[in-house]
Amino acid sequence: MAKNDNSVNIENAKAAEGERYHHGDLRSALVEEGLKRLQQGPAEALSLREVARSVGVSATAVYRHFPDKQALLHALADVAGDRMASAFETAMAAAKPGKDAFDAMGRAYVHFALKNPFLFKLMMSPEMMSGIAAEGRPRTRGMAMLTSALSELSGGKMSSEVQNIRRLQAWSIVHGLAMLMLDGLVPADEKLIDDVLASKIV
């Protein structure tokens, strides 16, 4: 067993979770803990000190792995983007091509948002998405999938400008519905989602 696939075996990571001075894989643990908290509350309510405490490490240890709080949030947004992309993939796979797939994407979008409200909101926040820093980062993977899928699906017989507008219309209605439901302005009713998305434009 010379060099088999024990790829990341930095001193056995979390095995023997004693009180070693060096954690083993703090960065992952912090992200994990962050994700757990984003299942229960908004990113604004996420405190570095609290996360560190939960992981069992001093508050400032976080700074060995993230230059500041924003950086941790960016990492979490990246995970969110990946998860959203996965959701899209399975949604697309389960639907047959054409308009069916199109609707599937829309529903997947809203469902992802409703099932991961805080993760979704974090990912969509200007701080995460804006700026060239976000270009090509994992957190944009979901968005990239969405737009490219919409491009394919929304019919190729239109000029690219019209196509672009159709795409934006689709994105708007889906995003708007998700936001309205997320913010409690509209009841997050399953049937309502179907009804609203069923007869949508495009």
Measured from the CB atom, the residue of 58 and 172 that comes closer to a second copy is 172
63 binds DNA (CB under 7 A): yes
CA distance 176 to 200: 13
Report the partner that residue 114 touches, choosing among a second copy, DNA, none (CB closer than 5 to 8 A by kind): none
> In what helix (H) or strand (E) does residue 15 lie, and over which residues does it extend?
none
Shortest CB 133 distance to DNA, Å: 16
Measured from the CB atom, the residue of 29 and 174 that comes closer to a second copy is 174
Shortest CB 99 distance to a second copy, Å: 15
CA distance 194 to 32: 33
Measured from the CB atom, the residue of 57 and 173 that comes closer to a second copy is 173
Least Cα distance to 140 among 187, 85, 194, 94 occurs for 85
Pick the binder of DNA from 43, 46, 79, 122 (CB under 7 A): 46
64 binds DNA (CB under 7 A): yes
Residue range at the interface with DNA (CB under 7 A); choices 42-50, 84-92, 121-129, 162-170: 42-50
CA distance 68 to 71: 5
Least Cα distance to 171 among 98, 109, 87, 90 occurs for 109
Non-local (6+) Cβ contacts of 23 within 8 A are 29, 55, 57, 61
Contact 97, 149 (CB under 8 A): no
In our burial notation (b when 16+ CB lie closer than 10 A, e otherwise), range 52-90 reads beebebeeeebeebbeeeeebbbbbbbbbbebbbebbee
Report the partner that residue 172 touches, choosing among a second copy, DNA, none (CB closer than 5 to 8 A by kind): a second copy
Pick the binder of DNA from 3, 15, 20, 160 (CB under 7 A): 20
Chain residues in the site for a second copy (CB under 8 A): 44, 124-126, 129-130, 143, 165, 168-169, 171-180, 182-186, 192, 195-196, 199-201
Residue 143: other Cβ atoms inside 10 A? 18
Measured from the CB atom, the residue of 17 and 44 that comes closer to a second copy is 44
Applying CB under 7 A, which residues contact DNA? Answer: 11, 20-24, 26, 46-50, 57-65, 67-70
